[in-house]
Amino acid sequence: MKILITGGCGFIGSSLALFLREKIKNVKIMSVDNLSRRGSGLNYKRLIAKKIKNFKYDIAKKDNLRKLPRFDLVIHCAAEPAIEASRKKLEEVFNSNLVGTLNVLKKCAKDKSNIIYLSSSRVYSMSNLFKLKNKGSVKENFNTENAKSIYGFTKLTSEHLIKEYAYLYKIKYLINRVALVSGPWQFGKEEQGFVSLWVWRHINNFKLNFIGFNGTGRQVRDVLHIKDLCELILLQIQKIKKINNKLMNIGGGKTNSLNLIQLTKLSSDITKNKIKIGSIKKTSPYDVPYFVSNINYVRKLYKWKPKRNLRKIVADLYIWMKPNISILKKYF
């Protein structure tokens, strides 16, 4: 079996490549990544150490994927994931997230390759999410019609493209609407990967800010450990002949949800450092006060559930970061 992981030198892509390399026998795993994102060079070295080849191509350029060999399965992780950046770098986000997906699908159609797509919980309507008011969880049939973000729009449009190509070319697909994922090898920043950023700033005694919604730190998110995601995708690969052409939410669910105040306490407990927390009242137009994934469908489908709790996520980040501060400091 041959598997191609797009964005294979990113946080999720590299973690997945290394996990699958260890868990599946008689599989050839390759990556395609243009190495443009922060930390991708470090992840590239991790892949090479395990004899996983990376093709340094930009998937938004249509001729690049034609140069690659045939694969049985493509796991499409590549994207420009920063929500705020999608306002400022509109053309770049469209090229990476939409044109890139189209080129991947052309490759899948030509090779008759199946595809597992990492979409996003950002496909859901902002205005409808505001109505949740700190209760309930978001199911797969939640409203996607209204404004969500340019990033969310590109992910949702990519989902529709995948369904069309699957119908036309008889390829199998799975669409994973992935919520917040964290764990070792995530280089966090305020707008993306904030759990990783929170732990890093606590280790180094750097100031943090509660941003938006009057700077109270009460925004709620569910968080999934990267290993739980990798274990689920392994199950999806193993069962794709029987379970396919499905769309599902993937996240930590209600059990693994917290706000920034709780994350601060957890980070302080594990790092033994208490840091100064500032307050910025202004709210981004793309932020919501509450998001928790309903993961009942994926749990039932694969007999899967997250094994690692929030404390384990923060502890694993700490264990990775603490001895590697001198190497990691230029990436945070």
pLDDT of residue 91: 87
pLDDT of residue 82: 73
135 plus 105 within the same structural domain: yes
The residue count for the chain? 332
67: amino acid identity, one letter: K
Q: What are phi and psi of 259, to 5 degrees?
A: -105, 180
Q: Tell me what the mean pLDDT of segment 90-109 comes to.
A: 94
CATH number at residue 278: 3.90.25.10
324 and 231 fall within a common domain: no
The per-residue pLDDT for 52 is 98
- What is the pLDDT at residue 188? 87
98/208 same-domain check: no
Q: Which residue has the tokens 């998110």?
A: 221
E-strand stretches of the chain: 2-6, 28-32, 53-55, 73-76, 114-120, 173-178, 180-182, 208-211, 220-225, 246-250, 257-259, 277-280, 290-291
DSSP assigned state of 251:
S
- Residue 5 is which amino acid? I
Given a cut of 90, whether residue 113 has pLDDT beyond it is yes
Whether residue 152 contacts residue 158, with contact meaning beta carbons closer than 8 Å, is answered with no
Q: What is the per-residue pLDDT across 185-207, written as a single tens digit (0 to 9) for each?
A: 999 877 678 999 999 999 999 99
- Classify residue 294: in a domain, yes or no: no
Mean pLDDT of 282-311: 96
CA gap 107, 78 in Å, rounded: 15
Nearest-angstrom CA–CA distance, 97 and 87: 14
Tens digits of residue pLDDT in 322-332: 999 999 999 99
Residue 322 corresponds to which tokens in the numbers above?
A: 């603490």
Q: Which of 175, 135, 181 is nearest to 157 (CA)?
A: 175
Q: Is the residue at 189 inside a domain? A: yes
Return the pLDDT at 143: 96
Q: Under DSSP, is residue 232 helix (H, G, I), strand (E, B) or coil?
A: helix
Closest among 41, 42, 45, 49 to 21, alpha carbons compared: 49
302 lies in a domain?
no
Pure H helices in 5-149:
11-23, 40-49, 85-88, 90-94, 100-111, 126-130
Residue 44 has pLDDT above 80, yes or no: yes
pLDDT digits (tens, 9 = 90+) for 206-244: 999 999 999 999 999 999 999 999 999 999 999 999 999
β-strands 220-225, 180-182 pairing: parallel
CATH of the domain at 127: 3.40.50.720
Domain assignment present for 322 = yes
Q: Are residues 168 and 267 in the same domain?
A: no
Asked if 192 and 213 sit in the same domain, the reply is: yes
Above 90 in pLDDT, residue 85?
no
Q: Is the pLDDT of residue 134 over 90?
A: no
Selection from 291, 331, 285, 289 nearest residue 83 by Cα: 285
State residue 73's pLDDT score: 98
Count of beta carbons in the 10 Å neighbourhood of residue 223: 25
268 near 202, Cβ under 8 Å?
yes
Same domain, 118 and 194: no
In a domain, 167, yes or no: yes
Domain membership of residue 63 as a residue range: 2-181+223-250
In a domain, 295, yes or no: no
State what percent of residues in the chain have pLDDT above 70.
Answer: 99
* Three-class SS state of 313: helix
Domain assignment present for residue 227? The answer is yes
- How many domains does the structure of the chain reveal? 2
Q: Single out the residue of 222, 106, 92, 203 nearest to residue 164, CA to CA.
A: 106
**Is 293 domain-assigned?**
no
| Per-residue pLDDT at 87 | 75
Q: Is residue 102 located within the same domain as residue 238?
A: yes
As a whole number of Å, the end-to-end CA separation of the chain is: 37
Residues 6 and 81 in one domain: yes
Distances (CA, A) of 92 to 57, 88, 89, 183: 15, 9, 5, 27
- Same domain? For 196 and 86 the reply is no
Residues 78 and 158 in one domain: yes
- Percentage of the chain beyond pLDDT 90 is 87
Average pLDDT, the chain: 95
- 117 pLDDT more than 90: yes
Residues 134-159, mean pLDDT to the nearest whole number: 93
Give the number of other Cβ atoms within 10 Å of residue 28's Cβ.
16
> Does residue 77 share a domain with residue 148?
yes
The pTM assigned to this predicted structure is 0.96
Whether residue 203 sits in one domain with residue 133: no
Q: Cβ atoms within 10 A of the Cβ of 79, count?
A: 25
Asked if 238 and 302 touch (Cβ cutoff 8 Å), the reply is: no
